[in-house]
């Protein structure tokens, strides 16, 4: 029995292991988390992470929804996102910023952190990070919550400096935004378990290379590695750089419980979204709601403290400069669809709109491209194909380049 754990037959019966996948660079090999386990019941639960040596860590609680967040030095860990046990509903992990990894534990009920300590190696066991949770009331949980540390800013990332464009270069600047990243994995393929963040990042790099090869554009990516970038920071990057276009790349999944299994088979193909106060349809509304929650999923925001997106978008779209932006965004969406139809499978309604937070960059024309849906098996086969991503990124790059040269100067205001 782990030291400090109260005897409980329920605990012994429920104790289960969650294996953490390990992929670690040699430079960080000593800070590796080798495995984790959960034990307990709905009143008391223990989370144990085994580590190869003592590491610094920070544990804190977040509300709306109930979460426990563990920050530690950069470690390439993968906590299974399936069902948890006891007070733990589910968990996820990943890189929050260079040098910093995070585990987010979703709670099934409000719980206090009774103990959070690093135990030294003993009895043939490695060092262990032990988190003991005890069920409590909503009021008591809220009283224990402290303000989380601020989310790392993109300008603090070492790799972002190399990606910054030359301010003296007058060529059009295109910002490519690979959706999700780091602890925010995005959607997961139904068949292959492929991660949206990996698909969008690879596609984004291919698209950037295609556009850069023309030597006609400056290219800036919102992330150049598997790192988390908040939604507001993604749009802020475009505003700060005075971008001519923001392209956010995604490959979402629909929830069968919400839309039904039939929809998963029927809803497929590329979709291009633009910003609007009201969603064009239910599907657009669902996708926007999912995308606007990623900061909450990463443990950098709460549902109650996050700004009301619809009100903010309404304010943005009432501004003259942003009305011009909206017209340009809609024009490029239609142009891309018209020029790619014969080369890429599109959704039955390929152009939609909703209040996507990532598209609110002030004065910057912006579109969000769903390459396909990981909830659809046919789309998933394409999305995980290296050949398909190479081909479609080239097709998209050609269409963007054609629009920028042929139509940009003739878009109605």
Q: What is the DSSP string of 319-331?
A: SHHHHHHHHHHHH
Which of residues 165 and 277 earns the better pLDDT score?
Answer: 277
Q: What is the pLDDT of residue 293?
A: 83
**Boundaries of every domain in the chain:** 9-144, 154-410
* Per-residue pLDDT tens over the stretch 201-239: 999 999 999 999 999 999 999 999 998 998 989 999 999
Strand partners, 127: 51
Q: What is the pLDDT of residue 299?
A: 73
What is the DSSP pairing of strand 44-51 with strand 127-135? antiparallel
Strand partners, 73: 100
Q: What is the pLDDT of residue 322?
A: 67
Cα 327 to Cα 108, 235, 315, 361: the distances in Å are 44, 18, 16, 14
* Per-residue pLDDT tens over the stretch 281-291: 888 888 888 88
The CATH class that applies to domain 154-410 reads alpha beta
As a whole number of angstroms, the distance between CA 252 and CA 272 comes to: 12
pLDDT beyond 80 at 116: yes
Q: Are 98 and 157 in contact (CB under 8 A)?
A: yes
Mean pLDDT over each residue of the chain, to the nearest integer: 80
Q: What is the pLDDT of residue 266?
A: 76
Q: What percent of the chain is modeled with pLDDT above 90? A: 39
Three-class SS state of 298: coil
Q: Tell me if the pTM is above 0.85.
A: no
Judged by average pLDDT, the poorest of 257-266, 366-375, 390-399 is 257-266
Q: What is the pLDDT of residue 203?
A: 98
* Per-residue pLDDT tens over the stretch 318-360: 675 666 778 889 999 999 999 999 999 999 999 999 989 899 8
H or E stretch covering 46: strand 44-51
Once rounded to an integer, what is the mean pLDDT over residues 46-73?
84
| Four-way CATH pick for 9-144: 2.40.50.320, 2.60.40.3500, 2.115.10.20, 2.40.50.140 | 2.60.40.3500
């Amino acid at each position: 029995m782990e030291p400090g754990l109260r005897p409980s037959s329920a605990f012994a019966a429920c104790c289960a292991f969650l294996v953490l996948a390990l992929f670690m660079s040699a430079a960080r090999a000593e800070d590796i988390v080798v495995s984790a386990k959960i034990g307990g019941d709905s009143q008391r639960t223990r989370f144990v992470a085994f580590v190869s040596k003592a590491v610094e860590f920070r544990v804190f609680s977040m509300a709306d929804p109930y979460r426990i967040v563990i920050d530690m030095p950069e470690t390439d860990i993968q906590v299974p996102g399936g069902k948890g046990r006891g007070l733990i509903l589910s968990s996820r992990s990943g890189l929050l910023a260079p040098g910093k990894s995070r585990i987010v534990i979703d709670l099934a009920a409000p719980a206090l952190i009774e103990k959070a300590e690093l135990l030294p190696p003993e009895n043939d066991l490695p060092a262990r990070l032990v988190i003991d949770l005890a069920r409590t009331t909503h009021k008591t949980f809220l009283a224990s919550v402290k303000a989380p540390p601020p989310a790392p800013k993109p300008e603090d990332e070492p790799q972002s400096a190399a990606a910054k464009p030359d301010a003296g270069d007058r060529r059009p600047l295109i910002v490519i935004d690979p959706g999700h990243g780091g602890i925010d994995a995005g959607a997961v393929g139904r068949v292959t378990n492929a991660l949206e963040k990996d698909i969008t990042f690879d596609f984004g790099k291919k698209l950037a290379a295609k556009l850069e090869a023309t030597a006609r554009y400056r290219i800036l990516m919102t992330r150049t590695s598997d790192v988390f970038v908040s939604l507001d920071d993604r749009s802020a990057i475009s505003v700060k750089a005075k971008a001519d276009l923001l392209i956010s790349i995604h490959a979402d999944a629909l929830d069968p419980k919400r839309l039904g299994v039939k929809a998963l088979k029927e809803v497929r193909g590329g979709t291009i979204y633009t910003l609007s106060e009201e969603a064009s349809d239910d599907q657009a509304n669902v996708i926007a709601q999912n995308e606007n929650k990623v900061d909450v999923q990463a443990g950098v925001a709460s549902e109650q403290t996050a700004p009301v997106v619809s009100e903010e978008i309404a304010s943005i779209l009432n501004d003259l400069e942003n009305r011009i932006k909206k017209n340009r965004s809609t024009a490029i969406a239609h142009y891309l669809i018209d020029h790619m139809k014969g080369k890429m499978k599109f959704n039955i309604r390929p152009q939609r709109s909703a209040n996507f937070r990532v598209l609110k960059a002030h004065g910057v024309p912006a579109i969000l491209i769903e390459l396909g849906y990981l909830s659809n098996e046919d789309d998933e086969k394409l999305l995980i194909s290296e050949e398909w991503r190479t081909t479609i990124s080239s097709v998209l790059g050609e269409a963007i380049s054609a629009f920028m040269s042929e139509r940009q100067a003739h878009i109605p205001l």
